Amino acid sequence: MPVNIEGVVTDIGRQRLMEGWGQTTALDFITEFQVGEGGWENTPGGQVPRDPTDPGPGNNRGPTLVELDCDANPSDYPVTSRATFAKALVLVNFAFTGNTTLEVTCFLDFAEPPATTLELYEIGLFNSSGEMVVYGTFPRVEKNPGVQRTFTVKINADRS
């Protein structure tokens, strides 16, 4: 079953979209996804995903991130909970599902990542310059070499 995520366009993503207005398409703009073990916080009920729209008290979370949270804020996570995995995206990973929504399908096959188990809470979509342009969090998903996982990131451009 796919993990559905509402993607949040990051501050740098908004800047790059405006710079490229009329010169690029979203399909050229997003070239890679990364999943990571960060993007959560401890609560009395256990670990829960952070709100990807909240920049946090230090303005270093959510839409202000330029890399996954476990890379940007490593001291917030145990040493054993900082792993990430990256994979390139191709044209078939993109689908427009209406006038204002782009869905990006991010698939991890059995051997990805190789020989390890990850507890994933976050995903980022990156441009060809390595800048994270979309970010999302989700409830814990375990990924080990024995299973495939699909993450569907929805980017909505409805008026607010």
Share of the chain above pLDDT 70, in %: 92
| Tens of pLDDT, residues 6-17 | 999 999 888 887
| Tens of pLDDT, residues 4-51 | 999 999 998 888 877 766 555 554 579 999 999 999 999 999 999 999
Q: Is the pTM of this model over 0.85?
A: yes
Residue 21 is predicted with a pLDDT of: 61
Residue 34 is predicted with a pLDDT of: 98
Q: Compute the distance between CA of residue 30 and CA of residue 21 in angstroms, rounded to an integer.
A: 14
Sequence ranges of the domains in the chain:
3-19+26-156
pLDDT band at 160 (very low <50, low <70, confident <90, very high): very low
**Is the pLDDT score of 1 beyond 90?**
no
Residue 15 is predicted with a pLDDT of: 85
